[in-house]
Chains A and B, each alone.
Chain A
């Protein structure tokens, strides 16, 4: 028992980061229909932006804002300058995946070329431990959970109560129909890249806040559980991704504590396999029925 509770605590932290990244990823893919495999590398890039900001002696909170803003702007520009032109040029799904991997490689290795292949860490105040119900958090981890909860609430409000948010949700849950109804306009697409990119940037910064050191591959390594979260929750389902993050985050940390740290990613994989066998459309998705309607 005494390893389980702290593990659940770690799990909550991991789940928070996963939720921010996963919701961004699932919205991006659901709304724009582009499987952006450079997502993890944009997270890393945002982390490096935050690194530069904190190295200049500015507070880590401002670095967080800078990283998130960078993620949003970079994603919108990336889509406008590269992805959309390729789609208009007639590149189909497979081709687009190759395009996004190219971007992933270019961003990751670009960072390596600029910063060098070594370890980096954010310059921030030394965290203090906080005990909550048998779980131990650092102040930073506490902040991460808080940031994630706030971000999820904001996303919820945005999707539920604003016109653009509703349009985005409609597009994510049924792109075909939304397009036919004239919803999926460029504005919605732009907003989707901005919102998902901001979440991506935010996730990148909180990810490296939680580790002692990061490299140019930190974000792309994190992409596995993020994708697992998105698949688990059902593509285009932000609430599914939140639930998926909670499940995978806690399960992987518990497995790491109880079995062996090596199994951290394996758990995500096993969960994914079970989901694929039992319910390929994800836990909170109506994709299956939709697919049949479209057939």
Chain B
């Protein structure tokens, strides 16, 4: 394989990893817990920013970029801290929006939060270097390992894959456990879940924060890879791409969501590279977004459960013979009270 192709493929794989992690996080919020978070991209941006400044080192007075909280931390630390920051931010936003709000209110608040956050980030140059963003973020481990550029690419693919596996473990234990079942119950009927003793606010918050953590991690990987951060690349339509990916793939199903991440952000946006340029500048971009919109509509109409729908959970039955013929009267486990 030629070096150019290796570069291309490894880059696509890394983007895929980033998108898969982001989609898993959004799926925890949207697919599993039923939270509509339009600000999702902001959590990714926050994670990315955190990782960038924790890798860049302290900002120099009068330097060409201004930011706060700079430090030189060794490789996986910035990514982990990015996850923590994503989670903390989610706790703050969740504390505001998930306060017994009607879900439609909640969605509106999230939308407003995402738009405002973008405008703050773009305007407050002292905070995140304004609309210029950050650049020249050192690549992780690059100074320590002595690899050719293409070798480094593959190392990064490896790093991304390892993180993906860890994240998969996390989303799997959540969705396959009784916790996941309870979250899905909260999604389907909040009031009924509360009436069965589930602390609905805490459960929703948990899913929201976990989603925030994953968003932060995915943003961190992206920024460490592309070495730059700019507020312009975290606008709210990007959240919509992830929503489309989750819906197309199959919300509530981790594997489906992975396929969605492969189909929508990666395959779809990559495919347009091979389309010859035509029309005035911006036309292809516009058409791309129109197609994403149409794709979401088509799936919601024809396959609302996605390519790989949420799994119907069946439970193994006890072996034949164990069950005796006549139905027994079930003791009710009445409680003596607590």
Residues of A within 8 A of B (CB): 29, 35, 37, 82, 86, 89-91, 93-95, 97-99, 101-106, 108-110, 112-113, 116-117, 221, 223-224, 227-228, 230-231, 235, 260, 262, 265-266, 268-269, 272-273, 276-277, 280, 287, 291, 295
Other-chain residue from B36, B240, B301 in contact with A89 (beta carbon distance below 8 A): B301
> Interface residue count for B (Cβ, 8 Å)?
47
A224–B112 touching, CB < 8 Å: yes
Residues of A within 8 A of B301 (CB): 86, 89
Residues of A within 8 A of B243 (CB): 98, 101
Could you list 16 examples of A-B contacts with CB < 8 Å? A37-B111, A93-B103, A94-B34, A95-B304, A97-B107, A98-B244, A101-B296, A104-B293, A106-B290, A108-B289, A109-B286, A109-B290, A223-B115, A224-B115, A276-B99, A295-B191
Chain A residue at minimal CB-CB distance from B109: A276
User: Measured between C-beta atoms, what is the minimum distance from A266 to chain B in Å?
Assistant: 6
Known: A91-B300, A105-B240, A287-B102. A224 touches B116 (CB 8 A): yes
A110–B304 touching, CB < 8 Å: no
User: Measured between C-beta atoms, what is the minimum distance from A66 to chain B in Å?
Assistant: 24
* Known interface pairs A93-B104, A117-B282, A231-B108; 12 further A-B residue pairs with C-beta atoms within 8 A, sorted by A's residue number: A29-B104, A35-B104, A35-B108, A91-B300, A94-B103, A97-B107, A106-B290, A106-B294, A224-B116, A268-B116, A269-B112, A291-B102
User: Measured between C-beta atoms, what is the minimum distance from B283 to chain A in Å?
Assistant: 6
Bound CA–CA A230/B96 (angstroms): 17
Bound CA–CA A280/B119 (angstroms): 24
User: Measured between C-beta atoms, what is the minimum distance from B78 to chain A in Å?
Assistant: 28
Known: A116-B282, A224-B115, A269-B116. A109 touches B289 (CB 8 A): yes
Residues of A within 8 A of B30 (CB): 94
B304–A235 touching, CB < 8 Å: no
Chain B residue at minimal CB-CB distance from A113: B286
A105–B109 touching, CB < 8 Å: no
Residues of B within 8 A of A (CB): 30, 34, 36, 96-97, 99-105, 107-109, 111-113, 115-116, 119-120, 123-124, 191, 237, 240, 243-244, 247, 280-283, 285-287, 289-290, 292-294, 296-297, 300-301, 304
Bound CA–CA A112/B99 (angstroms): 38
Q: Interface centre among A29, A103, A113, by most B CB within 10 Å? A: A113
Bound CA–CA A257/B291 (angstroms): 41
A276–B286 touching, CB < 8 Å: no
Other-chain residue from B109, B285, B293, B300 in contact with A231 (beta carbon distance below 8 A): B109
Bound CA–CA A29/B103 (angstroms): 13
Known: A106-B294, A262-B123, A276-B99. A231 touches B105 (CB 8 A): yes
A272–B109 touching, CB < 8 Å: yes
Bound CA–CA A266/B119 (angstroms): 8
A266–B296 touching, CB < 8 Å: no
Residues of A within 8 A of B304 (CB): 90-91, 95
Bound CA–CA A230/B105 (angstroms): 10
A117–B281 touching, CB < 8 Å: yes
A265–B104 touching, CB < 8 Å: no
Chain A residue at minimal CB-CB distance from B122: A262
Bound CA–CA A37/B283 (angstroms): 23
B282–A112 touching, CB < 8 Å: yes
Known: A110-B286, A227-B112. A105 touches B293 (CB 8 A): yes
A102–B101 touching, CB < 8 Å: no
Bound CA–CA A131/B251 (angstroms): 58
Bound CA–CA A103/B294 (angstroms): 8
Bound CA–CA A262/B116 (angstroms): 11
Q: Which 9 A-B pairs have the closest CB atoms?
A: A262-B123, A117-B282, A102-B293, A109-B286, A105-B293, A269-B116, A112-B286, A109-B289, A106-B293
A265–B119 touching, CB < 8 Å: yes
Residues of A within 8 A of B283 (CB): 112-113, 116
Residues of A within 8 A of B100 (CB): 280
Residues of B within 8 A of A108 (CB): 289
User: Measured between C-beta atoms, what is the minimum distance from B99 to chain A in Å?
Assistant: 6
A113–B287 touching, CB < 8 Å: yes
Residues of B within 8 A of A230 (CB): 108
Q: Interface centre among A29, A235, A265, A291, by most B CB within 10 Å? A: A265
A98–B247 touching, CB < 8 Å: yes
